[in-house]
Structure 1
Amino acid sequence: MKNILLSIIGIGRNQSGKGYIKTKYKFENGQTYETAFFGSALYRYLFNEKNIDKWYIFGTDKSSWSEIIDTIDEDYKNNLEELYYKVWDEERSGISKNTLNEWQEKLSNYIPGIELINIDPLDYKFYVEFLIKNLPDDELYIILDITHGYRFMPFILSFSIMYIKNFKKIVDLDIYYGALEMKGDEAPVIKIDFINELFKLTTSYEIYKYSGYFPEILKNLGIQNTENTYFQIEMNWRPQKELKEITAKLDNIEESYKTLCAENIKKELQPLLEKELLEDRMIERAKYFFEKNQYLKSLILIYEAITIRMLKRLGITKIHDIPNRKEFLRDKIPQILKEKWMQDNFKILEGVRNSAVHGNIRDSSLYQHIKDREKFSELFKSSLILYEKLKK
């Protein structure tokens, strides 16, 4: 796993009118680091616990780049003194690209993986484009420092991370803030764990919302090891015992910000627990996936549910003994579906199902149901009515 530290550096205003105020920052383990730029304290704190593979620092041409020197041990600062004053002097009017590159090169001798990125603060797209391009494809632990810079910059960077989580393997995210305004003798360092929790809940619930895959969101709600339960449901099995355990655990969630999420999941799982018959569970899953815009799944499920119900109308109890339901039912459809609209509906449903599954549209009359979502929706809804008619 790669450890990536993201910091923002601004201008600051100390008593001399330039740079940040020298502050002693205290971390949760009691360690303190005195520095003007909080990112330096955070890097040194993290470096004691883990290797930092990359440290990206975003700032403008007038940011206090010279303050990064506090990251380096006192024994080596003299080696950078001449360049330090050059950087410090140029910051007043705007540091040149060459000087910033030279400063990065010198710092990298003592801070491996450091990269100084000069940005236009109003180029909002830059952060996300930079991260997509530069973050590796390994599993990533992201540490975000939101202490300095223009107030809006950390927000843009945070939302950029939420977006790129869809494309990069961000395993964990920690957010740190050096709270200078809460300073007594020392300024406390706040690790905002709750944001990481909300981040995980948000992304995993979105996966569930649009796909139906619930193990990840349940894990973030404190309910572990539900992958096989989901697999069994996908295979049209009814893991009743496991579903009861999940719904009971969802009921026991106490934090109010989690209960809304838990209630929504329970509401959608409840029909699978309550429906005794396979075909009824298939119908519930068909409606479930239709609402999540997973039309092929909903189509396959509603077709299979209707064929099972049709076989039962013939008095057949051992459904699974029939190897080819489609062929078995072919000449019996008028006997089961006595009204013309029912026969027409089933014929179209079967044709659309076969065309969609096999990718082979032989009947041009089916084009509209394959190409037009509204037409498919009409077919799906009328097929639900057909199913209910077959239950009577």
Structure 2
Amino acid sequence: MKNILLSIIGIGRNQSGKGYIKTKYKFENGQIYETAFFGSALYRYLSTEKNIDRWYIFGTEKSSWSEIIDTIDDDYKNNLEELYYKVCDEEKSGISKDILNEWQEKLSNYIPGIELINIDPLDYKFYVEFLIRNLPDDELYIILDITHGYRFMPFILSFSLMYIKNFKKIVDLDIYYGALEMKGDEAPVIKIDFINELFRLSTSYELYKHSGYFPEILKNLGIQNTENTYFQIEMNGRPQKELKEIITKLNKIEEIYKRVCAENIKRELQPLLEKEFLEDRMVERAKYFFEKNQYLKSLILIYEAITICMLKKLGVNKIPDIPNRKEFLRGKIPKILKEEWMQNTFKTLEMVRNSAVHGNIINYSLYQHIKDKEKFSELFKSSLIFYEKLKK
């Protein structure tokens, strides 16, 4: 796993007019680091526990780049003294690209993986595009420092990470803030774990909302080991005991911000527990996937449910023993479906199902159902009405 630290550096204003105020920052383990730039304290603190593979620092041409020197041990600061004063001087009017690159190169001798990124703070797309290009493809532990810089910059960086999580393997995210305004003898360092929890809940619920895959969101709600339950449901099984356990655990969730999520999941899982017959569960899952825009799944499930129901109408007791249900039903449909609209609905449904599954579009009327979402929606809703009528 790669450990990536993201910091923002601004201008600051101390008594002398420029730069941040020298502050003692106290971490949760009692360690204290005195520095003007909080990122330096955070880097030194994190480095006592883990190797920081990359440290990206975003700032503007007038940011207090010189303050990064506090990251280096006092014994080595003299080695950078001449360049340090040159950086200090250039910051006043705007640091040049060459000096910033030279400063980065010198700092990297003592801080491996450091990169100083001069940005236009109003170029909002830069943050996300930079991270997409530069974050490694390994599993990533991201540490976000939101202490300095323009106030809107940490928000853009945070939302950028939420988007990037879809394409990079961000396994964990921690957010730190050096709370200068809460300063007593020292300024407390706040690790904002709750944001990380919301980040996990948000991304895993998005996955569930659009795909139906629930193990990840359930894990983030404290309900473990549900992968096999999901697999059984996908395979049209009925893991009744497991579903009862999940719903019982969802009912025990008390925090409001988690409960609203739990209630939505429970409402969608409950019909799978309550429906006794396979065809009824198939219909519930067809509706479930239709609402999640997974139209092929919904089409296959509603067709199979109707087919099972028709076989039962014929008095077939051992449906699994029939090798080809479509051939078995051929010629018997008028006997089961007395009304013409039902025959037409089933015929259209079957042909659309075959065309969608096999990619074989037979005629123009079927093409409309596959090309036009509204036409397919009409067919799907008509099929649900047909199913309920058939069940009676």
- Name the TM-score, length of structure 2 as normaliser: 1.00
Question: Partner residue of 2:179?
Answer: 179
- Aligned equivalents of 1:8 and 1:344: distance in 2? 65
Question: Partner residue of 1:247?
Answer: 247
* Alignment partner of 1:43 is 2:48: no
Map 1:7-22 → 2, pairs under 5 A: 7-22=7-22
* Alignment partner of 1:271 is 2:288: no
Letter in 1 for 2:179: A
- Aligned equivalents of 1:224 and 1:39: distance in 2? 36
Letter in 1 for 2:271: P
Q: Which structure 2 segments of 5+ residues have no match?
A: none
Letter in 1 for 2:315: G
Question: Partner residue of 1:127?
Answer: 127
Map 1:1-392 → 2, pairs under 5 A: 1-392=1-392
How far off its partner does 1:309 sit? 0.1
How far off its partner does 1:170 sit? 0.3
Q: Which structure 1 segments of 5+ residues have no match?
A: none
Letter in 1 for 2:59: G
- Aligned equivalents of 2:29 and 2:360: distance in 1? 64
Letter in 2 for 1:231: F
- Aligned equivalents of 2:331 and 2:33: distance in 1? 83
Q: Secondary structure at the match of 2:76?
A: helix
Q: Secondary structure at the match of 1:125?
A: helix
- Aligned equivalents of 2:201 and 2:38: distance in 1? 29
- Aligned equivalents of 2:338 and 2:169: distance in 1? 55
Q: Which moved more, 1:108-117 or 1:329-338?
A: 329-338
How far off its partner does 1:362 sit? 1.8
Q: Secondary structure at the match of 2:332?
A: helix
How far off its partner does 1:256 sit? 1.2
- Aligned equivalents of 1:53 and 1:331: distance in 2? 69
- Aligned equivalents of 1:169 and 1:284: distance in 2? 34
- For residues 163-186 of structure 1, what are the alpha-carbon distances to aligned partners after superposition, in whole Å with 9 as ceiling and x for unaligned? 000000000000000000000000
How far off its partner does 1:364 sit? 2.6
Q: Secondary structure at the match of 1:217?
A: helix
Q: Which runs of 4+ in 1 moved over 3 A?
A: none
Q: Secondary structure at the match of 1:140?
A: strand
Q: Secondary structure at the match of 2:185?
A: coil
Q: Secondary structure at the match of 2:142?
A: strand
- Aligned equivalents of 1:267 and 1:169: distance in 2? 31
Q: Secondary structure at the match of 1:257?
A: helix
- Aligned equivalents of 1:33 and 1:176: distance in 2? 15
How far off its partner does 1:363 sit? 2.5
**How big is the alpha-carbon RMSD for the aligned residues of Structure 1 and Structure 2?**
0.4
- For residues 318-345 of structure 1, what are the alpha-carbon distances to aligned partners after superposition, in whole Å with 9 as ceiling and x for unaligned? 1101010000001101111111110110
- Aligned equivalents of 1:309 and 1:16: distance in 2? 83
Q: Secondary structure at the match of 1:210?
A: helix
Letter in 2 for 1:260: V
- Aligned equivalents of 2:298 and 2:195: distance in 1? 36
Q: Secondary structure at the match of 2:150?
A: coil
Letter in 2 for 1:278: L
- Name the TM-score, length of structure 1 as normaliser: 1.00
Letter in 2 for 1:77: K
Letter in 2 for 1:166: N
Q: Secondary structure at the match of 1:331?
A: coil
Letter in 2 for 1:137: D
- Aligned equivalents of 2:164 and 2:348: distance in 1? 42
Q: Secondary structure at the match of 2:331?
A: helix
- Aligned equivalents of 1:161 and 1:41: distance in 2? 23
Percent identity of paired positions between Structure 1 and Structure 2 = 89
- Aligned equivalents of 2:369 and 2:112: distance in 1? 59
- Aligned equivalents of 1:154 and 1:253: distance in 2? 31
- Aligned equivalents of 2:160 and 2:248: distance in 1? 36
- Aligned equivalents of 1:237 and 1:270: distance in 2? 15
- Aligned equivalents of 2:29 and 2:254: distance in 1? 29
- Aligned equivalents of 2:71 and 2:214: distance in 1? 44
- Aligned equivalents of 2:360 and 2:43: distance in 1? 59
Q: Which moved more, 1:56-65 or 1:363-372?
A: 363-372
- Aligned equivalents of 2:358 and 2:30: distance in 1? 64
Q: Secondary structure at the match of 1:229?
A: helix
Q: Secondary structure at the match of 1:150?
A: coil
- Aligned equivalents of 1:23 and 1:262: distance in 2? 43
- For residues 191-240 of structure 1, what are the alpha-carbon distances to aligned partners after superposition, in whole Å with 9 as ceiling and x for unaligned? 00000000000000000000000000000000000000000000000000
Letter in 2 for 1:162: M
- Aligned equivalents of 2:17 and 2:103: distance in 1? 22
- Aligned equivalents of 2:366 and 2:330: distance in 1? 19
